[in-house]
Amino acid sequence: MLFPTLTFAVFFLVVLALHGILRWRPAAWHGAMLAASFVFYGWWDWRFCFLLAGSGVANWWFGNRIAMVRDARFGRDPATRWWVRIAVAANLALLGLFKYYGFFVDAVGDAFGIDPGLALRLVLPVGISFFTFQAISYVVDIGRGDLDPAPLPDVMLYLAFFPQLVAGPIVRATDFLPELADRRRNGAHDGEAPLGTAFWLIGAGLFKKVVVSSYLAEVAVDGVFAAPATANAIDRVLAVYAYAIQIYADFSGYTDIAIGCALLLGFRFPQNFDSPYQAVSMQDFWRRWHISLSTWLRDYLYIPLGGNRGGPLLTHRNLMLTMVLGGLWHGASWNFVIWGAIHGGALATERLLRRERPTRRSVAELSIIGGAARWLLTFHVVCFAWVFFRAPTLADAWTMLTSFERAAAVPATTPAVAGVVAVALLTQGTPPELTHRVRAAVDRLGPTPVALAGGAWIVLVVALAPAGVAPFIYFQF
């Protein structure tokens, strides 16, 4: 079930009606939201509902076991850590079986000359990377003493809650479960959901996905990356820039819709994007791009590896390992490994340069020329890495980067695509205060004007949208 479809619109209206009717009856509300989430997930393939339910039951049991050992041993002793490791290993084994089994079989087949077609092929469940990372955060936070185990229905809803189930943001158990427990104790949250903010987010997300992302994919990106050898230099360069905007519009659009839907149901999800193409360093980029993933990798991988506590060499190793594994999290492909290695190498290089030149200035203190140069370099490192992220194969990525025939004529769509890319980059500089003021003004309008404006906006989005809407890019992860 895709967000920008009539099917989801009907589904969400039914869920919203149930939420309004049952919001003061916590047990009934909980059951309705859990059932709706499994309907949403099972819409692709109902058999994967058993996988999601099994993950919920297993991690609920692990959480209880870890808490029991933790409390009996008065803290994070070796027994507690071993149970956490077992729980994390079980989750990673599940993820590895479905996501990396084929990659491993192909690698072994290439190494030993075995026909990989003889091996069993597994279908990748939608969103398995996201709910597995959430499950890991649940058991690890219990082991750290930051969270107490939750009842089974709460754990199930935490993993299955449909707004963020298939493509994030990655919501922490320490954020979601206390809200759920408070709802059980007190019924609905105090006050009403900010309708204006919710509809603003949903409307902005629909525009970014249905109009901007779909247009760039259709006109500039998909055809070039599918057959880069047949494209000229202008087409390829424009396709790289267009993909940088496409993936941002696609993923941040999904996130906006997810956060808006969750807000209407009484949950506040964390911000996942903060004008990432305004970044003036790679570290700054990762503070702004897919924030829920970057902070997850920092807290559950980089810091446990040692972070920056072991000296420069180990710090650079930890950065590289974190980003390479982060790349591999996106998919079982050498392209993703290279994408992660580019980001890890860039982060390590920046850290090395800062160590050699310890005087650091804030972004506000940079000269206009210096700030522009740093922005330009950062943006092009990111775009360079996107080539490997998007290209179907390493050979295609190499072709995109190395073969630049001159165009006989400028394609007719070039000015329009370049204009969309330029406007998208300019909007990254919109002051956050302006956005907050506009949202606050919309919140004060009241339900009827907001509903009318939302309806008009949807009509506009449908009118501007290309024929058909492709699945969100991050569904494959």
Where do the structural domains in the chain lie, given as residue ranges?
26-104+119-186, 195-464
CA distances from 183 to 30, 101, 195 (A): 9, 40, 20
- Is the CB of residue 213 less than 8 Å from the CB of residue 246? yes
Distance CA 147, CA 152 (A): 15
Q: Among residues 427, 402, 473, which one has the least CA distance to residue 216?
A: 473
pLDDT band, very low/low/confident/very high, at 125 (cuts 50, 70, 90): confident
Say which residues have a Cβ less than 8 Å from residue 256's Cβ, sequence separation at least 6: 201, 202, 204, 205, 208
pLDDT of residue 73: 66
Q: Which residue has the tokens 């994390």?
A: 88
What mean pLDDT do residues 99-121 have?
A: 59
Say which residues have a Cβ less than 8 Å from residue 230's Cβ, sequence separation at least 6: none
Q: pTM, whole model, 2 decimals?
A: 0.87
pLDDT band, very low/low/confident/very high, at 65 (cuts 50, 70, 90): very high
3-class secondary structure, 53:
helix
Q: Tell me phi and psi for residue 377, to 5 degrees.
A: -65, -45
3-class secondary structure, 451:
helix
- Would you say residue 190 has pLDDT above 50? no
- Would you say residue 385 has pLDDT above 60? yes
pLDDT band, very low/low/confident/very high, at 372 (cuts 50, 70, 90): confident
What mean pLDDT do residues 214-219 have?
A: 90
pLDDT in tens, 434-454: 777 777 777 677 677 777 777
- Residue 321 backbone zone (phi > 0: left; psi -120 to 50: alpha; other: beta): alpha
pLDDT band, very low/low/confident/very high, at 71 (cuts 50, 70, 90): confident
Catalytic center residues = 330
Alpha carbon of residue 409 to chain centroid: 38
Q: What is the mean pLDDT of the chain?
A: 84
Distance CA 48, CA 51 (A): 5
Tokens of 204: 């902005």
What mean pLDDT do residues 164-191 have?
A: 78
- Is the CB of residue 205 less than 8 Å from the CB of residue 254? yes
pLDDT of residue 453: 75
What mean pLDDT do residues 143-149 have?
A: 91
pLDDT in tens, 14-29: 999 999 899 888 889 9
Distance CA 358, CA 375 (A): 20
H or E, element range at 142: helix 128-144
Describe the chain by its helix, strand, coil percentages, rounded to 5.
75, 0, 25
44-48, 108-112, 218-222 — most confident range: 218-222
Stronger pLDDT, 451 or 380, i.e. the higher one = 380
- Residue 127 backbone zone (phi > 0: left; psi -120 to 50: alpha; other: beta): left
Say which residues have a Cβ less than 8 Å from residue 229's Cβ, sequence separation at least 6: 399, 403
pLDDT of residue 76: 63
221-235, 339-353, 402-416 — most confident range: 339-353
- Would you say residue 417 has pLDDT above 50? yes
- Would you say residue 111 has pLDDT above 60? no
Stronger pLDDT, 118 or 16, i.e. the higher one = 16
pLDDT in tens, 294-322: 999 999 999 999 888 878 889 999 999 99
pLDDT in tens, 245-289: 999 999 999 999 999 999 999 888 988 999 999 999 999 999 999
- Would you say residue 216 has pLDDT above 80? yes
DSSP-derived secondary structure letter, 357: S
Please, is 157 exposed, middle or buried when counting C-beta atoms within 10 Å of its C-beta (0-12, 13-18, 19+)?
buried
Q: Tell me phi and psi for residue 398, to 5 degrees.
A: -65, -40
Distance CA 194, CA 331 (A): 37
Dihedral sign (CA 246, 252, 255, 259): negative
What mean pLDDT do residues 119-140 have?
A: 82
Query: Residue 22 half-sphere exposure, CB side, CA atoms within 13 Å?
Result: 16
Q: Among residues 92, 90, 77, 204, which one has the least CA distance to residue 145?
A: 77
Residue positions counted in the chain: 477
Distance CA 168, CA 188 (A): 24
Stronger pLDDT, 58 or 465, i.e. the higher one = 58
Distance CA 375, CA 280 (A): 4
- Is the CB of residue 175 less than 8 Å from the CB of residue 194? no
Query: Cis (ω within 30 of 0) for the bond into 169?
Result: yes
